[in-house]
Structure 1
Amino acid sequence: MSGQTLSAWNERVHAACGRFDTRYDHCHSLFIGEMQQTLVGTTAVAHIRSNASVIAKAARSSERTSSPRCFLVLQQQGSMTIELGDKVLELRAGDLALLDFSGAVKMTPKGLFGHVSIPLPWELLKGLERNRFGKLPTAGACGQLLGTLVRQLAAGELAQWTCPQDGDGVLRALVALLTSVLEYQTSADAPSCQLHEVQAVIQQRLGSPRLSPASLAQELGISSRQLHRLFEASGDSVCRYILRERLLKAAQDLCDPVCAHRSITEIGSDWGFADSAHFSKTFKKQTGLTPSSYRSHGR
């Protein structure tokens, strides 16, 4: 792509998100900037993918009434650091966050990233204190429903069902769920997680190499000790559960004719094993066979 494409990208971002400017510190021919916008009823969903070095916006009072200020964001791929005033967030794959872009913003991706951004009406959230913005926990029924709904929007699963009568129904559903989820962060009676709820979240994150007890506890809004106790009560551990489920999914793919064209390295990577040698060693330790031998036996 050319420098002109970078300019075109900036124009699209300006129209969708406000006066954000993108910087790319390498050869402009290597720049990746993709944005696709869809509507579910009247709810706008922006799919953004880029390898930008920095995406930033200065605080401009003149745009506060003309540009969206609040965004519900699902980080789908990669990671980034977001500076919102004096607050710094680390968004990783699978993280859900509510962001206030009314002030100065600086996003620093760590390589190629992809996320989905849904603008929310400021008037529905204008009474919200700034310290309530940030990463969202998914504990409790509303947290699970919010995460599921956003992931469905991100995957385009609801597009086939969209009809004119939907109107702003999806948007109102998001805001209603979000209102309850934000109470989790401050309530002394925030819902505690059950083991099956944690396991359901793990199943959704198995493909991310960044899945860990620490990131899981943060997403669920519980302490790491609470998380470990949930598994210890059943005679298991969170790390063993994650490893076991990853190996199980990988084993299923190794024997699946649909995946016959895929390499062992690709299958391991799909289930969170960033290093192929580690995948092979761990797989053999657990099954007694290397991935290639297991695949041959399965056939």
Structure 2
Amino acid sequence: MSGQVLSAWNENVHAACGRFETRYDHCQSLFIGEISTTRVGSTPVAHIRSNANVIAKAGGTTACDSAENCFLVLQRQGEMTIETGDRFLDLRAGDLALLDSAQAVKMMPKGLFSHVSIHLPRELFKGLDRPRYGKLSTAGVCGQLLGTLVRQVAAGELAHWSCPQDGDGLQGALVSLLESVLEYRVSDHSPGLQLHEVQSIILQRLDSPRLTPASLAEELGISSRQLYRLFEARGDSVCRYILRERLLKAAQDLRDPACANRSITDIGTYWGFADSAHFSKTFKKQMGITPSAYRSESR
């Protein structure tokens, strides 16, 4: 295998999704790149699996792009960070996102990933503000319906029901649901959101350096004010909760014999602390002992 494999992959991606270019920094024989396209009615669906380091597209549309699309993405497996404009989105398995083809998009997978991209005409989202693109909340009824429908498309569960009369039906259903789901991102009233649900998402995101109250509120589709109020109602704060859980995870690693070869700096950085000094100071303030002393006592 050689660079021809990557070249063929890029050509297939161009045909399916537009002018995305792929970078792979390791031995070419280890590169994995699989892409297939289907249609549900008239709606194109791309199934993508790869271990690429970077998959990126410059902003704007070109003559090489056969259509101007928005991409409704379901992350099926693996993780990636997506840079779009001046924003960073962390996608994990199960996450949904709406991406605009006219913006620069840079996908940075963390190892092998697979996702499904449903292509929707960009003209259907005419006038949609750029900040509204990004990760989608599924907190409300329409969010749940959207997630269920996209997962059915991704799994191929609807294929045997397909008929010529379907036409733009799927496209229309997705766009109608998205009209409500996109409102979650700006509304101050995310339907049915409970504190335990927020805490569960925080625990899934603890190792992300970009986990902040602002990014969490954006992901949940609520305002920062509402997020703070959820915790304040229980006499807590979102910042204190994130800090406590990160320290507990770090302490667990410091005690774990399997992490004995990892440095204290590495453990602190992994759990979201900017540097070793910040980690040590915060750990001692909360635990009453330095990380190194804590590790020694555990041994």
CA 60–218 in structure 1, closer or farther in 2 if over 3 Å, else same: closer
Fraction of identical pairs, as percent: 67
What residue is the counterpart of 1:81 in the other structure?
A: 81
What residue is the counterpart of 1:94 in the other structure?
A: 94
CA apart distance, 1:134: 0.5
- Could you tell me whether the CA contact under 8 Å between 2:18 and 2:64 is conserved in 1? no
**Which SS does the other structure have where 1:74 is aligned?**
strand
What residue is the counterpart of 2:50 in the other structure?
A: 50
What residue is the counterpart of 1:116 in the other structure?
A: 116
CA apart distance, 1:219: 5.2
**Which SS does the other structure have where 2:131 is aligned?**
helix
Root-mean-square deviation over aligned CA pairs: 3.3
Deviation per residue, 1:194-230 (Å, 9 max, x gap): 699x69xx8xx9xxx9477x89987543566777799
CA 64–182 in structure 1, closer or farther in 2 if over 3 Å, else same: farther
Give 5+ residue unaligned stretches, structure 2: 235-255, 259-299
Distance 1:25 1:79 in 2: 18
Q: Which amino acid aligns with 2:187?
A: S
Distance 2:105 2:14 in 1: 14
CA 211–154 in structure 1, closer or farther in 2 if over 3 Å, else same: farther
CA 230–73 in structure 1, closer or farther in 2 if over 3 Å, else same: farther
Distance 1:91 1:146 in 2: 17
Q: Which amino acid aligns with 2:175?
A: V
- Could you tell me whether the CA contact under 8 Å between 1:64 and 1:102 is conserved in 2? no
Q: Which amino acid aligns with 1:165?
A: Q
CA apart distance, 1:105: 1.9
**Which SS does the other structure have where 1:10 is aligned?**
helix
Distance 1:31 1:64 in 2: 25
What residue is the counterpart of 1:246 in the other structure?
A: none
What residue is the counterpart of 2:150 in the other structure?
A: 150
- Report the count of equivalent residues: 229
Q: Which amino acid aligns with 2:18?
A: G
TM-score under structure 2 length normalisation: 0.67
Q: Which amino acid aligns with 1:146?
A: L
Give 5+ residue unaligned stretches, structure 1: 232-274, 278-299
CA apart distance, 1:44: 1.3
Distance 1:37 1:116 in 2: 10
- Could you tell me whether the CA contact under 8 Å between 2:79 and 2:92 is conserved in 1? yes
